[in-house]
Structure 1
C-alpha cells in the first residue's frame, strides 16, 4: 500500500509572466528568459533546467572556489528568505527535511533539505541529460489560483510545485552578482498581486525582502516521521 501526503498551502503565490520575445542575453539573463519561455509553453522540465542554470551561474560568480554541489545548495540555502515565499510558501525550509535519497546532502544534520533535493534530483538529472526519476515531476499549479501551492510527498518521492522554478529565478534575479543582466521588456515577477519588472529588480534582494515582510505567511515545519527513519536505514 502506498501512503501519499498531499500538502496544499494557502498563501500568496508568485507568478512569472511576460509579453514579448527578445534577443540572446548574457548567461544568467539568457537562462532566466529561456526558463520563462519554456514554462509558458508548458515545458516544466526544460524551465527547471534553465532556472537551475541561472542559479548555478549566479552561485559560480559568488563562490568560484566551491564545487557545483556546495555552491548551488549553499546559494539556495542562503536565500531561503526569498526562495521560500516565491517557491514553497508556508514551509519552514530551514528546518524541514525531505524523505528522499540524494547523493552527498549538504544540509546540517546529514538529511536533505529542499536545496539538496533540487540539486540532487533536478539539477543533476537535467544537467546530465538524463530523464527525471519517477516521483519527482513538478505539479503544474503556478498559473493559478494565486493563493494555492500543491506538493505531493511519498517515502522516496517528492512532487514539488512548479513554483520552485520561480523561486530559483527570483534568487538569481535579485542577487547583486547579477546587476547589469537583462531580459526582454515585459518579463516580470509578481507577488501578492504586485508586478515587479525583472529589469528593474536585478540585484535588489534587500528591497524585495522588505516587500515580502509586508505579507504574513505561515511557517510550517514538515515532519515525515518514519519515512525519515527509512531514509537513515537506506530504505
Structure 2
C-alpha cells in the first residue's frame, strides 16, 4: 500500500502486518509520520494511491467511496483525534450515532430504542462519565477529556469488529489516561474487538499485545 500527500513524495508505510481477530496493536511514530493518515486508510476515509489494504477480509481498494462508508459503519469503530462529535446533541445522542447507519451494530447494542439508550449509558459509565456529566443537554458543554470519552463510547457501541483509535488519551493526565485505557481495552475484550491504537506516547505500549513503529516508506497492511 502506498499513499502520498499532495505535493510530496512521502508515503505512509508499514512492513507486512496481519492483525488477528481481537488483537491489540499499538502503532507509534513521531508527529508527521502518518499515523492519522494510516487510520484514515484503514477506515476507508482515504483510498490508497497504489496497492491495497485488506480489512476483515475485504479489499478496501475494490470498494467505491459509498461502499467504504457502509463498510465502516457496519464493522469499524473510529475514535477520531478531533472527536467529530455534534456539540448541539447531548452525550447519549452522540453515542447512539455509532449505530445510526448500522443495523448490525444497532442489533448487537439493543433490540429497541430503550435498550440502545441503556447501552449508551452503560458505556459512558464504564468509561468514567457519571449521570451528572452525560445528562447534560449539549456535548459542547463538556471538557475536552469528557468529550474524548463520549467519542470512545460512540466508537464502541454495538461491538465493532475493529476499533481504530487516534491518540484517544491525548487530553488526559497520566492517572486518568491509564484508567481510561484499561476501561477502553476492557470494552474491546468484552466484544472481542481488535484494536489499532496510534500514539506518540510509548509509555502506553505495555497495554497492548504488539507494538510497531510507523515510518514513511512503502508498505502493505492487512487487518
Asked if TM exceeds 0.5, the reply is no
TM-score by length of 1: 0.26
| Greater relative contact order, per chain length (Cα 8 Å cut-off, separation 6+) | 2
